[in-house]
Chain A
Amino acid sequence: MRQAMRVYAETAWRRLRRGRLLWGSAVVAVLPLLVALIGVFHGRFGAGLFDESLEIYLRLLLPLAPVLLAAQVVGEEIEARTFTFLWARPAPRAALILGKCVVYALALLPGFLIGTLLTFAVAMVRADGADVTAALPHLARVGVTVLIGVPVYTALAAGVGTLVVRHPTLAGLLYVIVIEGLFASIAGVLKATAVSFYLRALAGLQFSSTPGVWEPRPSPVAAALVALLLGAGWLFLATWLVSDAEYREAR
């Protein structure tokens, strides 16, 4: 299993380096920087601006880039018919999912971490030293959120993409828009279905509260655990589906 994962990971990395998708995802990863820059040009700065920039990050961009890369984890093999070569090998099919997910998550992480740091730097550019120092623990929590969020969303995208192999990217985008975008914004218990809800809790972002509507308020540790469990669940689903599926070549 480990050797097969390594082979798939190396191949995925080689193909990623030679393709354009990696650059597209990297651009997505640094978009919050633009939000922060616009805020600075309008005379705003500080931890408030950093948090506002992070909103777009956690609700949309953080799920979006992994969808662009990882939703195709099996679909691209079916589309190109290359799965016929892979499935004729003495290697577990699950290794394809795991190997590719490791590479996609590792490929996305630097862009997101750098994007977070740059966004913080831009948001704090006019703040005084004391404010910056006070905001550093918050930055650390956001860093941890990104470290957990990227692999969790990669697993989620792989799971959704393996569930809907014929139109995986579209399915992934719909999931992100409906669950991570819409559900996460609606007051009430539906929020708990979105990974972004737990990541916001982990990052220490403010929750909007609606009077009379009960909403879960997980602690940062509980939020991290639930997010990781959700990612593991999606990954398990993807590997289970691919192991027993009988794929036909796309015509």
Chain B
Amino acid sequence: MSEREPAPTIQLRGVSKWYGTVAALSDLSMSARSGVVGLLGPSGAGKTSLLRILVGQSRPTRGEALVLGERPWRNLPLMRRLGYCPEHEGVYEELTAIEFVTMLTRLHGFDPAESRRRAEAALERTGLADTGDKRMGAFSKGMRQRAKLAQALAHEPDVLILDEPLNGCDPLGRAELIRLIRELGAAGRTILVSSHVLYEVEAMTGEIRLLFRGQLLAEGNVHRIRELIDAHPHRIEVECDRPRVLGQALLAEEHVLRVGISGPRLVVETRTPDAAYSLIAGLALERGIKITRIHSPDDNLQAVFRYLTEKREEAA
């Protein structure tokens, strides 16, 4: 007999959120269990609107959102078990990081000494132990992110909601925070982390939800999503001095599906981008073609989402 699957920590049933005539979320249903779950979507996809509903700062216009089996809006007992790291950089600039985290931890009912102890521990975990006594007005964007993450962790919540927590972090800080988020997920917490950068989410978790224009576009394992994305022809744009010559040479190659010219720009479509990049570089070198810029608009998440939306519309 198989064991019953535990109930989802986060559950959304037909959730819609309207701001006047603008729909931020549209009939969204999804769930998340313990571990790290990535919420991936371009700007304006509705990620922040969704997270604000989950932390009780906003009400769904329609549908039901449940966290740990309860509705978050005006649910103070539930707030004890939630940690929230918002996207923006706003902090109390007159306060030091230790004062900031201690103050917010005290709002959970801990006494001042215990709150301070927890704040110090949380700041140490996020790598701010040495700068805890510095006023946050002088903090860099990356340091603010760490302080914000520390305030979400200090009371040791069961569920962590992190909105773009890596924004503004330097590469080293990014790696440290990714490691921390993975550790917290491995310890059994439910962590919903939003991002608009696919590789960031991939580094944190294999479990993702793709959100686009307020709707759930795809969900599941990140590798499945990757395959879906990889099946889509990849576009490479090359700016060079002789695009026609390079285009003709590329047409004969098996990795290239299509070639088009738009002004000084050569547009190449391929299913094997790595091989195509090498091919373009090799042919340019061989024929003395000067390449000034080479990039792939498909690396932009927006293009991937556009593709997935089109695919869904075709299927419909």
Contacts and interface: CB of A to CB of B under 8 A. Distances in A.
User: Are A and B bound to each other?
Assistant: yes
Considering residues A84, A87, A91, A92, which has the most beta carbons from chain B within 10 angstroms of its beta carbon? A84
A225 to B, nearest CB: 34
B103 A7 contact: yes
B104 interface: yes
Nearest to B100: A85
B80 A90 contact: yes
Contacts of B92: 11, 15, 80, 82
A247 B148 CA distance: 20
Interface in B66-106: 74, 76-80, 82-84, 86, 88, 90-95, 99, 103-104, 106
B109 interface: yes
Contacts of B99: 11, 14
B57 interface: yes
Contacts of B74: 243-244
A4 B108 CA distance: 9
A111 to B, nearest CB: 21
A128 interface: no
A42 interface: no
Nearest to B80: A90
Nearest to A92: B76
Contact of B108 (A10, A18, A90, A246): A90
B236 interface: no
A91 B103 CA distance: 12
A82 B107 contact: no
B39 interface: no
Nearest to B77: A90
Nearest to A95: B107
A88 B77 contact: no
A89 B59 contact: no
B58 interface: yes
A85 B104 contact: yes
Given A84-B88, A89-B104, A90-B107, A11 B95 contact: yes
Contacts of B59: 246
B90 A82 contact: yes
A15 B56 contact: no
Nearest to A4: B107
B106 A7 contact: yes
A7 B95 CA distance: 13
B57 A88 contact: yes
A10 B19 CA distance: 35
A246 B57 CA distance: 6
Interface in B113-148: 148
Contacts of B80: 90
B56 A88 contact: yes
A84 to B, nearest CB: 4
A19 interface: yes
B151 interface: yes
Contact of A81 (B19, B90, B108): B90
A4 B110 CA distance: 11
Contact of B86 (A3, A14, A81, A89): A81
A80 B108 CA distance: 22
Contacts of A243: 74
B36 interface: no
B277 to A, nearest CB: 39
Nearest to B86: A84
B90 A90 contact: no
A91 B76 contact: yes
Contacts of B77: 90
B94 A14 contact: yes
A86 interface: yes
Considering residues B91, B106, B108, which has the most beta carbons from chain A within 10 angstroms of its beta carbon? B106
A15 B91 CA distance: 12
Interface of B: 19, 52, 55-59, 74, 76-80, 82-84, 86, 88, 90-95, 99, 103-104, 106-109, 148, 151
The 7 A-B residue pairs with the shortest CB-CB distance, nearest first, are A81-B90, A89-B107, A88-B84, A90-B79, A84-B86, A18-B94, A90-B76
Interface of A: 3-4, 7, 10-11, 14-15, 18-19, 80-82, 84-92, 243-244, 246-249
Given A82-B92, A87-B55, 19 more contacts: A3-B106, A4-B107, A7-B103, A7-B107, A10-B103, A15-B94, A15-B95, A18-B94, A80-B90, A80-B93, A84-B52, A84-B90, A87-B56, A88-B55, A88-B84, A90-B107, A91-B76, A246-B57, A247-B57
